[in-house]
Amino acid sequence: MGGVNFVLAVWHEPKPITKERAKEVFTALGGEAATPAGPHPDTPAAAASHEAVAASVGPHPGVAAFAERLPETVPVSPAFALVIVDLERSDEVASAAFALARRCELVCYDPQRDLVHNLAPTGAYREMQLHTGDGLVITDPDLGLVSDVAATLSPENPFAALVVFGHHFVQVSPEPSGYELEYKDSLRNVLLRTHTADLEVVREAFAEYATGGRAFLDHHDWHRV
């Protein structure tokens, strides 16, 4: 599959998983063969580990349902499917894939960003959206994804935001000396901005916002913009 630009993978997990587990499954079930770099040679120990991981992922009817409804899907097995598109269409198709995966009770792994979208737990706001500067848009992101997305900030991904449209949002952007953190209360038309050097502070702010808390507003010196 040379020349493939963008890949997603879907399968079922009985409970939320980490991005490390998602990467293991993606590799064990052959997902790397669809990426531009292709698969890496396995040592005997790695091959045995991959076999054990692959055996832990069973067939699920959601995989077939997903493949039937998203034309860009390549079914690999009854347990695992890939979404393969040109880079120009990646934002459009990825948004549809993440939403469809939830409806089909599947996790969705993005190996380019090394992010996994679980079914739960989700935040306090129905239809809250996660946006990133490199084109990721997810409605009702799970809390693990909310935490993990901060680590993807870079010159190629210049912001991440959690948005409840018409009400409020929190946004972070990388700076040379750390991170610029913003909070807007749209109903009061108040925009606040602060700076932190600590990525964990950003994670905590995003986690608190997503679960309905505002303690992070008391932890910094904010400037009204």
**Closest by alpha carbon to 113, among 77, 76, 141?**
141
Say whether pTM exceeds 0.95.
no
Q: At what angle do helices 44-55 and 19-28 cross, to 10 degrees?
A: 100
Pair of tokens at residue 134: 């490199």
Q: Round to whole Å and give the CA distance between 206 and 225.
A: 20
* Cα separation, 62 vs 85, whole angstroms: 21
- What is the structure's pLDDT at 218? 94
pLDDT, position 59: 96
Q: How many residues does the chain have?
A: 225
List, in order, residues 6 or more apart from 18 with CB less than 8 Å away.
116, 144
Rounded distance, CA 41 to CA 123, Å?
A: 40
- What is the pLDDT, as a whole number, of residue 3? 53
| pLDDT score for 5 | 82
Q: How far apart are CA 152 and CA 156, in angstroms?
A: 9
pLDDT of 1 reads 43
pLDDT along the chain (225 residues), means of 10: 76 97 95 62 59 90 98 96 94 94 98 96 96 95 96 94 97 95 96 96 97 94 94
Confidence (pLDDT) at 31: 85
Q: Rounded distance, CA 137 to CA 174, Å?
A: 19
Residue 45: per-residue pLDDT: 47
